[in-house]
Amino acid sequence: MLQIGDELMYFSSVFLLVMLGTRSATGASVFTLFLYVFMMMFRFPPVPADQASRVLRPRDSFGGVPVVAHRGGSHDAPENTLAAIREASRNGATGVELDLSFTVDGVPVLMHDETVDRTTNGSGPVSKLQFVQLRRLDAAARHRLKDKFSAEKVPTLQEAVEECIRHQLTIFFDVKDQPDKAASALHALYKKFPGLYNSSIVSSFEPKVIYKMRQTDPKVVTALTHRPWRLSRYEDGTPRTLSALGQLWSAALDVLLDWAHHHLLWKLCGISAILVQKDFISLDYVQYWAERGVEVVGWTVNTAVEKDYYQNLLKIGYITDSLLEDCDPRY
């Protein structure tokens, strides 16, 4: 999957840029060579294509495209709970996306936010709660269907994995930060349940999380998550800061980050998929990645019209908050 054209273009642009910046051909050559050797030495080759496709094209359903329930399907059931996993399976999802977090005593659990306030009847950061304290909370307390799903607990990562295996669901493990902790917790899980190599993927916005994961266990299928303009804008498109200079600076970083994702980081990490915010995906975009052996998965695809577009035109998998009806996106 070596993209000779890609590499040539990439290293030539680096060379040119450095030369323009430093006006030294020797300096530019040395730097470019250094970068080349660095890439060759430190990048992880992707997992074999057949393994990636077992994870990313698991079985025929919805016209062949995988449908993944976001946080277990946060509209249809309380997010990141065992009930959500069961509900997603019942409604025909091929997989679930789950968020990894840790209690103060180091137990890997499912929780999206830093605090438990939005989803449970407790309050405060997950990272300050003992597992026994977290376990006493009602994980359905703030859900619109809380009466239907009473007495749901915050599950451990392992409980969630066992539930997914029982229902033959693909798992998208979403990791926000804490690369070392996450990689070692997940690695332990892959050793305990080797079937996960064929049925799960680890994803993150943070390249360092993915890099660490592959360093810890290169057999794990991985994905980078990407939303263009993430540093300068919120999910709904409004700017994060009102100062013009701050806005300009974060937009410049966004351009750099976008470039890095498409030309450098994907290869360094050896990802098998890229999870991209739905509004930035076109047929050409899917094609760009297909040529590099990388699958595109869209998020969060929540309306029937969009689902039809993903299934029948783009023909790629998507992550959705509901398997049942149109709903507002959760970010």
Ligand X SMILES: *[C@@H]1O[C@H](CO)[C@@H](O)[C@H](O)[C@H]1NC(C)=O
| Interface ranges with ligand X (CB under 6 A) | 54, 121-122, 136-138, 194-195, 197-198
Question: What three-state secondary structure class fits 326?
Answer: coil
Rounded distance, CA 177 to CA 170, Å? 22
Nearest approach, Cβ of residue 254 and ligand X (Å) = 38
Q: Which is nearer to ligand X, 5 or 194 (CB)?
A: 194
Q: Which is nearer to ligand X, 156 or 198 (CB)?
A: 198
DSSP, res 324: S
Q: Which is nearer to ligand X, 121 or 156 (CB)?
A: 121
Q: Which is nearer to ligand X, 94 or 320 (CB)?
A: 94
Q: Are 316 and 288 in contact (CB under 8 A)?
A: no
Q: Which residues of 44-82 are buried (b: 16+ CB within 10 A; e: fewer)?
A: bebbeeebbebbbbbeeebeebbbbbbbbbbbbbbbbbb
Q: Which is nearer to ligand X, 10 or 149 (CB)?
A: 149
Nearest approach, Cβ of residue 128 and ligand X (Å) = 14
Question: What three-state secondary structure class fits 94?
Answer: coil
Nearest approach, Cβ of residue 189 and ligand X (Å) = 13
Nearest approach, Cβ of residue 32 and ligand X (Å) = 39
Nearest approach, Cβ of residue 192 and ligand X (Å) = 12
Q: Which is nearer to ligand X, 54 or 181 (CB)?
A: 54
Nearest approach, Cβ of residue 260 and ligand X (Å) = 32
- Residues contacting 316, CB < 8 A, separation 6+: 65, 281, 286, 295, 296, 297, 298, 310
Give the pairing type, strands 95-102 and 222-226.
Answer: unpaired
CA angle, residues 170, 171, 175, in degrees to nearest 5: 160
